[in-house]
Amino acid sequence: MKPFSIVVLISGDGSNLQSIIDRITDQSLNVKILAVISNKANAYGIERAKKAQLPIEIIEHQNYASREIFDAQLIKIINQYQPQLIVLAGFMRILSDDFVHYFYGKMINIHPSLLPKYRGLNTHQQVLEAGDSQHGLTIHFVSSQLDGGPIILQQSITVQKHDTVEILAKRLLLQEHIAYPNVIQWFSEGRITLDNKHVSIQSLHNL
């Protein structure tokens, strides 16, 4: 079966990108990464992409006069590759409404909290300060509301007595590295549908 095509957008370390690359390499993910796009030239994820011999596009946002001009250029680059899905993997940019509407239903993000709790940054710190017993991750479609798009999957972990921000982040990242490739595989199998704001996930035997 022809691999499902994606582009991956990064800004930093690229550990979720690496988890996708690893699953493609061990053939448990029927996906082809058409390009890795970074808005930062020094993002370590670029090194991961180079090692995997993937096409790389660097488009630094500070070189553009406005968010809208940057996003228009980003749309142009993505459209050159014609991916079936756009995967945000630590892409630290708030995208304009025009960009989000253009790709709505074709773009997903992973966020380190059990949304709608703790949108934005510093989620691990917020969980500890609130004394929550559960933390987790959310994979969702990207909408014009920050970290507010339709939810595809959530997974939780228990907050332990001696957890620090660093320990909690590390434990959650291990779960992210399993969950994100799994969800992308569901897309490749045609199991995820979005009807307005309602997400449906079919089981394999119903296909």
CATH number of the domain enclosing 149: 3.40.50.170
Mean pLDDT of 41-48: 97
Q: Which residue has the tokens 């790389």?
A: 56
Query: Given this model, what pLDDT does residue 197 score?
Result: 84
Query: Given this model, what pLDDT does residue 205 score?
Result: 59
Weakest mean pLDDT among 108-112, 179-183, 199-203:
199-203
Mean pLDDT of 4-14: 97
pLDDT tens for 93-136 read 989 999 999 999 999 999 999 999 999 999 999 999 999 999 99
Q: What share of the chain is helix, strand, coil (3-state, %, to 5)?
A: 40, 25, 40
Local structure of residue 204 (DSSP, 8 states): G
177 vs 207 pLDDT, higher one: 177
Mean pLDDT of 69-83: 97
Percent of the chain having pLDDT more than 90? 93
Query: Given this model, what pLDDT does residue 184 score?
Result: 98
- Check 111, 124, 135, 140 and give the catalytic one: 111
Query: Given this model, what pLDDT does residue 206 score?
Result: 58
* Structural domain total, the chain: 1
Write out the residue range of the structural domain in which residue 194 sits. 4-206
Annotation marks residue 111 as catalytic = yes
Spatial separation of the C-alpha atoms in residues 13 and 18, rounded to whole Å: 9
Query: Given this model, what pLDDT does residue 207 score?
Result: 52
Task: Determine the residue type at 15.
Answer: S
Tell me the average pLDDT of the chain: 95
Burial class (CB in 10 A: 0-12, 13-18, 19+), 52: middle
Instruction: Check if the beta carbon of residue 4 is closer than 8 Å to that of residue 33.
Output: no
In 3D, which of 163, 190, 126, 137 has the Cα closest to residue 16?
Answer: 137
